[in-house]
């Protein structure tokens, strides 16, 4: 079975990587791209040798099995609801939603329509992360005591810093990936969040730095730096790291350390060119396989909402100046 996939908006830069992944995947076809910015749709369609549709509705009416939602955060709910009503399975960019209420509405729409909703968390497919989780599951370091994580990057600006489009700044953008990894690794939910959040990097309306302390229901505590703290001259977009402290040892992960360092006279700068496994391709392949076989998704909409709820609690904690319990979503 060829899984026919459409993309609803390429506003998020990750959508371009997902489009490439669909084109590289045997047994999948990128049928087309739609966007509320028609010029953007046409440019992306030309890049990926596919069709630019005139509207979301037109694409959803086409012969497709599934969609990838790559829009601004605030459009995740309406586009997911549209796709569910059209009977299409959905891979939605993170954060799943900008509020718990929106996330619940998305889950309800998909359940009612009988379609599957997957959150785009490609970091779960990192071979290094899979190996780290296997070591923890096998008891190699004994009982886990604490976890330290980072997702520090450059500020993407554009709509990411427009709060009416993004729902927040660095914290909503960079909390969810590593929170999801911690939930998956520990098989546990966050029960309390304490956060310090500021805008001292760029001193604008949006938050650009955040540091969270998390308590899990199994007694593990964790810290997470979820900041846009890398300068524009930094050689890559950011990082994902973990340090897992157990009773018998410590495991560390630097997810994107497989790279070549390029010193370019053309650009006058330094960049890192990754050569390791393409985790976006692995994620899209897993999504397409589930759609084709009707099997359960490896990452669910519920996973996405649970991680997003931690970022919402972080904002509430920073505002109140005290720990806050995330809203229970599962």
Which CATH number goes with the domain that contains 315? 3.30.360.10
Q: Can you give the pLDDT at residue 214? A: 98
In a domain, 254, yes or no: yes
In a domain, 107, yes or no: yes
Q: Are residues 103 and 161 in the same domain?
A: no
Q: Are residues 164 and 313 in the same domain?
A: yes
In a domain, 326, yes or no: no
In the predicted model, what is the mean pLDDT of residues 67-94? 98
Q: Can you give the pLDDT at residue 152? A: 97
Q: Are residues 75 and 110 in the same domain?
A: yes
In a domain, 179, yes or no: yes
- Of 115, 139, 174, at which residue does a domain stop? 115
Which CATH number goes with the domain that contains 109? 3.40.50.720
- Of 76, 92, 115, at which residue does a domain stop? 115
Domain count, the chain: 2
Q: What is the C-alpha separation between 318 and 297, in angstroms, rounded?
A: 34
Distance of alpha carbon 180 from the chain centroid: 9
Q: Are residues 40 and 168 in the same domain?
A: no
Q: Can you give the pLDDT at residue 60? A: 98
pLDDT band at 267 (very low <50, low <70, confident <90, very high): confident
Q: Can you give the pLDDT at residue 268? A: 85
Q: Are residues 59 and 171 in the same domain?
A: no
Which stretches does DSSP call E strand in the chain? 3-8, 28-34, 51-52, 66-69, 89-92, 117-119, 144-150, 190-198, 209-216, 221-225, 241-246, 250-254, 259-264, 269-274
In the predicted model, what is the mean pLDDT of residues 71-97? 98
Domain containing 61: what range?
Answer: 3-115
């Amino acid at each position: 079975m060829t899984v026919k996939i459409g993309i609803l908006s390429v506003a998020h830069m990750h959508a371009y990587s997902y489009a490439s992944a669909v084109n590289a995947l045997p047994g999948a076809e990128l049928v087309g791209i739609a966007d509320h910015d028609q010029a953007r749709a046409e440019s992306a369609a030309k890049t990926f040798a596919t069709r630019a549709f005139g509207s979301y509705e037109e694409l959803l009416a086409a012969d497709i099995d599934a969609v990838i939602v790559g829009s601004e955060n605030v459009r995740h709910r309406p586009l997911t609801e549209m796709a569910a009503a059209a009977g299409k399975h959905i891979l939605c960019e993170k954060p799943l939603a900008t509020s718990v209420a929106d996330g619940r509405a998305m889950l309800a729409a998909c359940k009612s329509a009988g379609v599957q909703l997957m959150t785009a968390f490609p970091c779960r497919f990192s071979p290094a992360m899979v190996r780290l989780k296997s070591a923890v599951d096998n008891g190699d370091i004994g009982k886990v005591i604490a976890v330290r994580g980072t997702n520090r990057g450059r500020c993407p600006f554009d709509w990411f810093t427009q709060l009416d489009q993004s729902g927040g700044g660095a914290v909503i953008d960079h909390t969810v990936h590593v929170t999801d990894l911690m939930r998956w690794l520990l098989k546990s939910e966050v029960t309390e969040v304490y956060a310090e959040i500021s805008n001292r990097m760029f001193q604008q309306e949006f938050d650009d730095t955040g540091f969270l302390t998390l308590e899990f229901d199994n007694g593990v505590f964790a810290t997470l730096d979820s900041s846009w703290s890398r300068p524009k001259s930094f050689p890559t977009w950011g990082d994902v790291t973990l340090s897992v402290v157990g009773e018998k040892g410590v495991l560390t992960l630097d997810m994107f350390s497989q790279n070549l360092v390029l010193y370019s006279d053309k650009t006058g700068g330094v960049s890192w060119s990754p050569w390791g496994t393409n985790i976006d391709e692995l994620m899209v392949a897993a999504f397409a396989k589930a759609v084709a076989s009707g099997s359960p998704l490896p990452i669910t909409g519920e996973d996405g909402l649970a991680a997003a709820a931690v970022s919402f609690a972080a904002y509430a904690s920073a505002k109140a100046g005290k720990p806050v319990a995330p809203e229970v979503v599962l």
